[in-house]
Every structure is written in C-alpha cells, then in structure tokens.
Amino acid sequence: MSDRDVQNLLHRAEALMKTNWIHAVQLLIQAAEENPQDPRPLIALGDYYQRRQLYDKAVKSYQSALKLKPGDNQLKLIIGNTFFAQGEYQLAIVYYDQITDPHSDVRFNKALALAYLGRNRESIEIMKNLMSVIDNNPFIYFLLIEQLLRVEDYEAAQRYIARAEAKIGHHRHLLLLKGLTYARFQNWLLALNAFREYDRSGALIQTEHVLIYAECAVKCGAPALAIPPLERAIERNPYSMGLYEEIIRLLIQQKHTDKARHYMNEAKRFFPLLSPLLQLLQSRLGKLGG
C-alpha cells in the first residue's frame, strides 16, 4: 500500500469513526497488517481505542508503533499518559523517564505520578527544579505545597504559599492550602478566616479538611461556625463516622439536642455498629431526655 493509500485510509477511518467505529477499527487493523513497517495505522488505532477508554488495547497499539519508531518522544508521552489514566503510575513513570529532554508537562506529570505513589519527596524535588523554568503556573505551586504538607514541612509550605500569592495572585485553592498550613502552626484565627473564605467561594471541601475547619472554629471560640460546613459535608458524604462524631458533640455542647438526635439517628442508619465516641454521645443524649 502506497503512502498516499495509507493516508486516504486513515482519513476514511476517521470519517467512519463517527458512524461505525468498529468498521473503522477493522480497516486500521487491516492497514497495520498490510503495512507492518508503517506506525501510522497503529497510532490511529491507539487513538481510537483511547477515545473509547479501551486503555489496554490503546497501549498495545502504541507500544507496537513505538517498536517501529523507538525514538519517538511523543509516543512515549502518549503511552505514559495512557498508563497514568489507568492509575498505573509506576508504568507511566517508566515511559516518562525514556523521553529525551522532557518538557515541563512531562516533568509535572511525573511529579504527580510520584505523589500518587506516595513518593512525596521525589515529587517535591521535581517541582522545585521545575520552578526554575516556570514560576507562574498555579498547579505547580499547588502540587508542591500539598506534598510539603504531606511530609510535614510546614514552614516551607508557608514560604511557597507566600511566593505563589506574589506570582499568581489570589486563587481560591491557595485559601485551602493556607487554612491547612495555618492550622498546623495553630494560628487558628488565620486558618479559620482562610477556610471561611474558601468555603464562601463555593468550592467543595474534602471530609478530612472539613474536620480541620471545624477544629479551627472551636479553637477560636466560635463552635457555631463549625456546624454549617459539617452539615454540608455529611450531605455529600454520609459515610464518614468522624463527621457525625464532631457535629453531634458540638450540637450537644450548644444544647441543640433535637438536631443532635437527628444526626445520631442518621449515623445509626448508616452505621449498624457505632464508634465508642458515638455510643458515649448517644448515652449522653439519653440522659438529657426530651
């Protein structure tokens, strides 16, 4: 098959993909078999599989194409990203590491893969080095600061938060990171203000972060401010026992026993076996009567 014939077949397969993708795939498989030294049908096949989220088949097609073009950095990146999409972070890194002179996106993807693998310090080093090339990308700052918090380097996290604010200005995700960092330093009021501003932005807060938010409100002597975010968190995630423990405890303290009983009943609905703390709170509610 001539080069022009292959190109025409690729265009035909592209058009067929919208109406009969299975036939398009069959055409590409046939083209790959008839042109074993041409990587283009294999790459197109991988692209189509990827669009259908058939990642295993996509990877096999790309890997076959890479054997024909072993120096193709773009193919290595595509294979790495396909493994990344599957959650195969270690395999993604294997291909990222094969790329010659990786650009910033490749380095960021590798740092993110390392973070997902729990290799936080390696991720941090890549991010720090990347900042010598790009220092105004918010996502680089976010990933770096998040990893610094995970390794409990709170002072460095605070420094990079300040640097991020100077470089990228106001960003709501920075408010969350500020809240978490200030809380670690027990600067409860600053942490609470950051969490409240982040909350007002309409952003969803993870359960573990809501509990820190609530702790900040309590430490500032404003436990009532902890109730609304806890309620919203329970609505989003009714399977977190820690949320029920905290909201029921606070509602009892504030003498909102009816509301506390409501959440206790909700907890019993989702958890046949209550935690020791919830059992204690249930006993306390029983003694309060009503």
- pLDDT tens-digit map of 253-278: 999 999 999 999 999 999 989 999 99
Give the whole-angstrom CA distance, residue 278 versus residue 41: 61
Greater pLDDT, 40 or 230: 230
The token duo for 172 is 């709501």
Share of the chain above pLDDT 70, in %: 94
- Band (205; pLDDT cuts 50, 70, 90): confident
pLDDT band for position 1 (50/70/90)?
low
Alpha helix ranges (H) inside the chain: 3-16, 21-34, 40-51, 55-68, 73-85, 89-96, 104-116, 120-130, 138-150, 154-168, 172-184, 188-200, 207-219, 227-236, 241-253, 257-270, 276-288
Higher-confidence residue of 27 and 69: namely: 69
Instruction: Give per-residue pLDDT as tens, 146-197.
Output: 999 999 999 999 999 999 999 988 888 999 999 999 999 999 999 999 999 9
pLDDT at 31: 78
Would the CA dihedral through 161, 166, 168, 171 be positive or negative? positive
Burial class (CB in 10 A: 0-12, 13-18, 19+), 103: exposed
CA angle 156, 162, 166 (to 5 degrees): 140
Q: pLDDT digits over 121-142, tens only? A: 999 999 999 998 888 899 999 9
Q: Does residue 104 contact residue 134 with C-beta atoms inside 8 Å?
A: yes
Residue 70 vs residue 205, higher pLDDT: 70
> Would you state the pLDDT for residue 10?
72
Spell out the CATH class of 1-94.
mainly alpha
Compute the distance between CA of residue 4 and CA of residue 21 in angstroms, rounded to an integer.
22
Q: What is the mean pLDDT of residues 94-108?
A: 95
Rounded to an integer, what distance in angstroms lies between the CA atom of residue 14 and that of residue 52?
Answer: 14
Per-residue model confidence (pLDDT) at position 115: 97
Average pLDDT over residues 48-63: 90
Report the first-to-last Cα separation within the chain, whole angstroms: 85
Residue 96 has pLDDT above 70, yes or no: yes
Model pLDDT, residue 87? 94
- pLDDT score at 9: 66
pLDDT at 171: 87
Contact present, 130 and 140 (Cβ < 8 Å):
yes
Of 18, 19, 16, which Cα lies nearest the Cα of 28? 16
| pLDDT reported for residue 36 | 82
**Buried/exposed 77-96: b ≥16 CB within 10 Å, e otherwise:** bbbbbbbbeeebbebbbebb
Counting residues of the chain whose pLDDT is more than 90, the rounded percentage is 74
Q: What is the pTM of this model?
A: 0.83
Summarised one tens digit per residue, pLDDT across range 211-222 is: 999 999 999 999
- Cα separation, 57 vs 65, whole angstroms: 13
Cα distance between residue 44 and residue 49, in whole Å = 9
Q: How does residue 228 score in pLDDT terms, banded at 50, 70 and 90?
A: very high
Average pLDDT over residues 98-106: 94
- Count CB neighbours of 50 within 10 A: 19
User: DSSP secondary structure string, 141-164?
Assistant: HHHHHHHHHHTT-HHHHHHHHHHH
CA separation for the pair 41, 29 (Å, rounded): 7
- The pLDDT value recorded for residue 100 is 94
Q: What is the mean pLDDT of the chain?
A: 91
CATH architecture of 103-169: Alpha Horseshoe (1.25)
**Within the chain, which residue ranges are assigned CATH 1.25.40.10?**
1-94, 103-169
